[in-house]
Amino acid sequence: MPKRGEKNKKVSPLLKALREQKASKLKGGIYHRTQIDLTYNSNHIEGSKLTHDQTRYIFETNTIGVTDSAINVDDVVETVNHFRCIDYIIDHTEDKLTENLVKHLHLLLKSGTSDSRKDWFAVGDYKRLPNEVGGQDTCAPEDVHKQLKTLLDEYNHKGKKSFEDILDFHVRLEQIHPFQDGNGRVGRLLMFKECLANNIVPFIITDDLKIFYYRGLREWGHINGYLTDTCLTAQDMYKELLKYFRI
């Protein structure tokens, strides 16, 4: 597990608020709202059937509310795990992106799920079987380490990252698709982390932006504006939250 990095630059007001509210377990603030909104939307994009209210209830009470319909246990486990992932990126915002950090997020996300009990599924490690995303080929399992290392080296060499740098990293990570499952959620957590690390207002891809987000991923390198505009729209929504919470 990577160690927390040196804080050699000023912490943004948002990161300061997230850390203070996380430590004090403050309810109803930007930390509380980010945990629920980011977890609900990122999991929902990947097929979770939990509602926003159910996600909120799990975060606030660590219990599942009464419901008339059956609830998938994995949806609950991955919701709780995603809360831990967000805590991790808040604590480790300044850490350089490494293979170990990326793998650790996957370990946090998928621990205790039904996938973790499959002998072919590697929790916290790279995929063992070929997979595809949206009908597109991805990196072969045996090439993941090499391709991801190259991507991380190129990204880390840039120093201060721009909004476009972060989006480009996200697209290339999704194209590699290093894990058997959980790639999108790990990738969106890393985007949030890297925005925080580079004093860029982060954003949450909401479920209603999903179709535009997927189009943006698919068209990146041809029409970068699709993904950029979608993420800027999401960023505007998060800016409204910051305005509301006076950050």
Residues annotated in a binding site for ATP: 181-188, 213-214
Which residues does residue 136 pair with via DSSP β-bridges, in sequence order?
A: 133
177 included as an active-site residue: yes
State the catalytic residue, choosing from 32, 170, 177, 222.
177
Structure token digits, residue 93? 């915002």
Report the distance separating Cα 165 and Cα 228, nearest Å.
Answer: 11
53-59 LR contacts (CB < 8 Å, sep 24+): 55/79, 59/32, 59/35, 59/83
CA distances from 137 to 166, 175, 176, 182 (A): 22, 8, 9, 17
Strand extents, DSSP E, 35-151: 132-133, 136-137
Please give the angle made by the CA atoms of 242, 212 and 161, to the nearest 5 degrees: 55
AA identity, residue 89: I
Q: Which two tokens stand for residue 223?
A: 């029409």
The set of catalytic residues is 177
